[in-house]
Structure 1
Amino acid sequence: MSKPFFLCLPGSVRRASSNALLLRQLAAEMADFADAAVYDKLGDLPIFSPDREGPATPAVISDLKAQVARADGLIIACPEYVHGIPGGFKNLIDWLVSGDELYGKPAMLVHANGHGRGAFLRTQLCEVLTTAGVALIEPDGASIYLVSKPEAEIAACLATPENRQLLSMAGRKFAARATARET
């Protein structure tokens, strides 16, 4: 039996995004029991327009849709901008909402800004995702405080045994629940 595949969606395009770094570490911790890939084309997505759907769909959007459709679940790490979802990440969701790629797709949220920060984002993201048909089975999968730290410090923090175990356990729990829904 093959391992499940999870697509990790960072909500930031910043080069040293703490969310993307968190997702990369999570993917590494899941390697024994799942395949996970971090999506890295968020900044390449054109602004959504219904006029560009169907035959006019840009190749980068067709690729995104194919990756989401192939995934057994989604793992999302998104920053909070001005108490809300960053425009680029909302744009990604807008491109997916008219198709069936998101419908019923299991998802887990992980957070790079613990200590209760990001509550506005989680509320909005849960609302938008469930409205789009996502099966949000782990709204608080894991939270590690990483914001405002330099990239090397983030990497060191993620590499501690405690955080590696936290991420592995969150990933294992999500993988079990996501794949159980399919059987």
Structure 2
Amino acid sequence: MLFLAISGSLRSASTNSVVVRSLAALTPGGAQTTVYEGLNDLPHFNPDLDGPQVAEAVLAFRAALQQCSAVLISSPEYAHGVPGVLKNALDWVVSSGELAGKPVALFNTSPRATHAQASLIEILTTMGAEVLPAASPTLPIAGRGLTETAIGSDAALAEPLRAALALVYQRTQATAAATS
């Protein structure tokens, strides 16, 4: 079972990027989390380019989504919205449908970042993804400068992440059993 983790920020030191990288160590046995690092490689979405001539980066993103059992997204909020780079990535898979029926957990690193979270839920639901509210925790860690190790060793942070990942794991198992 493979989970694909995506940070909505291009900054490597972003709290969201740190959370995404920390998920790999917290993933339950029987599953593996891979961090998708290619958001910056995706061209600006243009429906005219979504065909036989689509960019390799788009094909790679679609393949990564097809191969995973669930998607884990941690995204900042920019001006009360979803960062353009994340929205751009999602736009590239609207017509191809890789997120349809796919369980998705959203990780929010700031209690104040409610607008982007709500927008992501709306966008992903419209795309047919199965957003898992119970597996979408808000962690008050924005601006604290934490590392992956610090998140993993702080029970107040690691436990909600482990619980969310356990719920994602259970949901993907149930989905796999239902389609077998």
TM-score (norm 1): 0.89
Measure the CA separation in 2 of the matches of 1:108 and 1:22: 13
What's the counterpart of residue 136 of structure 1? 131
5+ long unaligned stretches in structure 2? none
Counterpart of 2:160 (choices 166, 169, 176) is 166
Deviates more, 1:24-33 or 1:97-106: 24-33
Corresponding position: 1:10 with 2:7: yes
Measure the CA separation in 2 of the matches of 1:105 and 1:38: 17
Measure the CA separation in 2 of the matches of 1:62 and 1:78: 22
Measure the CA separation in 1 of the matches of 2:157 and 2:119: 26
Corresponding position: 1:150 with 2:145: yes
Measure the CA separation in 2 of the matches of 1:139 and 1:83: 23
* Cα displacement string for residues 15-36 of structure 1 (whole angstroms, at most 9, x for unaligned residues): 2111111111122110523111
Corresponding position: 1:94 with 2:99: no
What's the counterpart of residue 124 of structure 1? 119
Q: Could you say what the CA RMSD is over the residues aligned between the two structures, in angstroms?
A: 1.7
Measure the CA separation in 1 of the matches of 2:113 and 2:30: 29
5+ long unaligned stretches in structure 1? none
SS of structure 2 residue aligned to 1:37? strand
* Cα displacement string for residues 106-148 of structure 1 (whole angstroms, at most 9, x for unaligned residues): 11111122xx311111111111110111111236522222212
Taking every aligned residue pair, what percent have the same amino acid on both sides? 32
What's the counterpart of residue 79 of structure 2? 82
Q: Which amino acid aligns with 1:81?
A: Y
Q: Which amino acid aligns with 2:92?
A: W
Counterpart of 2:101 (choices 87, 100, 104) is 104
Equivalent residues of 2:107, 2:137 under 8 A apart = yes
Equivalent residues of 2:24, 2:33 under 8 A apart = yes
What's the counterpart of residue 56 of structure 1? 53
Measure the CA separation in 1 of the matches of 2:6 and 2:151: 21
SS of structure 1 residue aligned to 2:97? coil
What's the counterpart of residue 33 of structure 2? 36
Deviates more, 1:21-30 or 1:65-74: 21-30
What's the counterpart of residue 18 of structure 2? 21
